[in-house]
Amino acid sequence: MNVQLFADSGCDLPLHFYKDNDIHLIPLTVYVEEKAYDDLIEINPKELFTFIRNGVETKTSQPSPDVFEKMFTNLATANQPGIYMAFSSELSGTYQTAVMIRNQVKETYPNLDLTIIDTKCASIGYGLVVKSAADLLKRGASKEEVIKDIELRSQHMEHIFTVEDLDFLARGGRLSKASAFLGGLLNIKPVLNVEEGKLIPLEKLRGRKKLFKRILDIMDERGVDLEHQLIGICHGDDEQSAEELKQLIQDRFGTKEFLINTIGSVIGSHAGPGTLAVFFLNEVNNA
C-alpha cells in the first residue's frame, strides 16, 4: 500500500512542493483584519508582508477540526497507511487537535492507520524533515523506515534565526516591549533558537556584520559535516540577505546544497518582515 504523507503549512515549503510530492497539505489559517485565509492556498507570504508593511493587523490560528476529520476519514476509507508530520506542539495546537480527531475517526473506522508525529520543528527546519520523508518514500522505503527518519531528523534539527523588528516578538509575548523599543534604538539583533519545540533567545548582537558571523560560528559549533548537508534558509521577504547568508555558508563550509524559501504567512505573521533563519542537522551525519 502507498503511504500517504500529510504536512501543514507551518513547514514553509512552496505550494508546488506538496503537489510534486503527493503530500496532503493541511493549511493553517491567517487572519487579515478578521478575514480568514487558508495559508498558501488563499494567501501567500508576499501578500502577507505587504499587508504588514501597510500596518494591517494579522493573526493566525490552527486548522479547523473539520479539515482533519475529512482528510483522516478519506485515508481510512481508502484503507491506506498515513503519516502526519506536525508543526511543533509548543508553537501551535495543531498537533493536539490532530491526535484528538484521529482518535475520534478511529471510533468509526477502526482500520485507520495514521501515525502523527510532533516534529518539534518549524519553518524550513520542519520542511527539511518533510522533504526527507518524501524522498525516502520515492526510493521505496517502508512506513517504519520513514518514521524512524522523521523522528531522528526532528530531534537533531537546529533552528537559528533573527528578526528585523523586535516589536513583532514583543507582540507575541516573547520579549518585553521595553526591550524591543531599546533594541530598535540601539540596532540590537537577537539570535534565537528552537529547542524542544520552544522559542529560546540565545543572545543579542549589535550590527549586521557581527550577527552574520555569530550565526556561522553557531553552525560551526553545532553542525556536523555541513559541507554535505542540505542547508535550509528562509527569509521574511528579503532575498538579498538570504543569498548573502548562503554565500557566507558556502565560503566557510563548502556547502553545496541549499533549500531557500520565503518564510510562510503563519510564522511570518509573528516574526515579521526581515526575518532570517538557517536550519541544519547537529550530531547526525547523513541521517
Instruction: Tell me the C-alpha distance between 149 and 72, whole Å.
Output: 23
258-281 tens-digit pLDDT = 999 999 999 898 888 889 999 999
CATH number of 157-281: 3.30.1180.10
What are the boundaries of each domain within the chain? 4-155, 157-281
Average pLDDT, the chain: 89
Instruction: Tell me the C-alpha distance between 61 and 193, whole Å.
Output: 22
Q: Which of 144-153, 157-166, 184-193 has the lowest mean pLDDT?
A: 184-193
| Alpha carbon distances (Å) from 199 to 42, 47, 145, 210 | 28, 25, 29, 22
219-250 tens-digit pLDDT = 999 999 999 999 999 999 999 999 999 999 99
Q: What percent of the chain has pLDDT over 70?
A: 90
Over 90: is that where the pLDDT of 157 sits? yes
Q: What band does 193 get if pLDDT is binned at 50, 70 and 90?
A: confident
The Cβ of residue 109 has, within 10 Å, a number of other Cβ atoms equal to 15
Give the architecture-level CATH label for domain 4-155.
Answer: 3-Layer(aba) Sandwich (3.40)
Average pLDDT in the 19-33 region?
A: 95
pLDDT score of 166: 58
Q: What band does 180 get if pLDDT is binned at 50, 70 and 90?
A: very low
| Alpha carbon distances (Å) from 268 to 18, 135, 188, 207, 257 | 20, 27, 20, 22, 24
pLDDT score of 287: 44
Q: Which residue has the higher pLDDT, 277 or 166?
A: 277
56-108 tens-digit pLDDT = 989 999 999 999 999 999 999 999 999 999 999 988 899 999 999 999 999 99
